[in-house]
Amino acid sequence: MRVIIIEDEKFAFEKLALMLSKLDDTIDIIGHAKSIKDAVILIEESENIDLAFFDIQLADGLSFSIFDKVEVGFPIIFTTAFDHHAIRAFKHNSIDYLLKPIRITDLSQAINKYKKLWKPSSESVASLIDEIKQLKPKLFKERFTVKVGEHIKMIKTEDISCFYSFEKGTFIQTRENRNYLIDFSLDDLYELLKTTKFYRVNRKYIVNIDYIEDMISYSNSRLKLILNPATDDDIIVSRERVKGFKEWLEK
């Protein structure tokens, strides 16, 4: 089994490599990269990769961006210290998702899952990827934690009227018309939210259908949304998203 590991922490790499050697002596670690840039080079130069371990948060960004730079035709087991990337991970050839510190029992189960899914070489990798995609879990974020002074407060997702970006930060607005800074990008957030409830109407806003009070025809075939509680900015459904927004409303 030819394996590559994308991990920027030396200790984490050495620990994972040691556990793999204990679990299966047929595993051959053929490459190791510490950054997105090096990972792309490694994948381009390596042949017959059977399996990869990707740490999600690397020093130069999220490893998901690797898929935008190079063709990845092999299954992946993601590793990370945080669990809010799970949905996104399962969109990228993922067999499993391991939280750090990795337990050898969880690693063993992930390797066994890989072996169970792996098809004979006469079948294409695409067949395996199709099976993996069927494993995508229906997980949605039910609450967010925010910092209020020296305190940590929990906000239920159902109590959030909208998410919005402002001055390079991402904020939530609650049903009580309170606003809090959160540590997510809108791109990451949208994949964690239940799509029957939330819709990204433009680059700045994700709205909750339960808090839409009115919709008004706007210039250039756009729509203006009025939320309750109201927002400081006008919320305009961008022209290219109006059709999808109307279809979403009717689902």
Asked if residue 119 has pLDDT above 80, the reply is: no
Distance, CA of 246 to chain centre: 26
In angstroms, rounded to a whole number, what is the distance separating the alpha carbons of residues 245 and 229?
20
Q: Tens digits of per-residue pLDDT, 139-185?
A: 688 999 998 888 999 999 999 999 999 988 999 999 999 999 998 88
Residue written as tokens 């399962």? 90
Neighbour order of strands in the sheet with 51-55: 28-33, 2-6, 51-55, 76-80, 94-99
Q: What pLDDT was estimated at residue 141?
A: 87
Residue 241 carries which side chain, given as an amino acid letter?
R
| Ranges 67-76, 88-97, 198-207: which has the least confidence | 88-97
Residue written as tokens 């009115």? 214
Residue written as tokens 């067949």? 127
Using CA of residue 7, residue 9, residue 12, residue 13, what is the dihedral sign? positive
Q: Which pair of structure tokens corresponds to residue 222?
A: 């756009």
Q: What pLDDT was estimated at residue 95?
A: 82
Domain residues of the chain, as ranges?
2-133, 143-250
Residue written as tokens 């927004």? 245
pLDDT band, residue 120 (cuts 50/70/90): very low
List, in order, residues 6 or more apart from 159 with CB less than 8 Å away. Answer: 174, 175, 176
List, in order, residues 6 or more apart from 243 with CB less than 8 Å away. Answer: none
Cβ distance 211 to 235 under 8 Å?
Answer: no
Average pLDDT, the chain: 86
Using CA of residue 237, residue 241, residue 243, residue 248, what is the dihedral sign? negative
pLDDT band, residue 124 (cuts 50/70/90): very low
CATH placement of domain 143-250? 2.40.50.1020
Cβ distance 178 to 148 under 8 Å?
Answer: no
Residue written as tokens 């934690």? 145
Q: Tens digits of per-residue pLDDT, 36-89?
A: 999 999 999 998 999 999 998 888 888 888 988 998 889 999 998 766 555 555
Pick the CATH number of 2-133 from 3.50.90.10, 3.40.50.2300, 3.40.1210.10, 3.40.50.1820: 3.40.50.2300
Nearest to 1 by CA among 49, 66, 73, 33: 49
Q: What pLDDT was estimated at residue 86?
A: 53
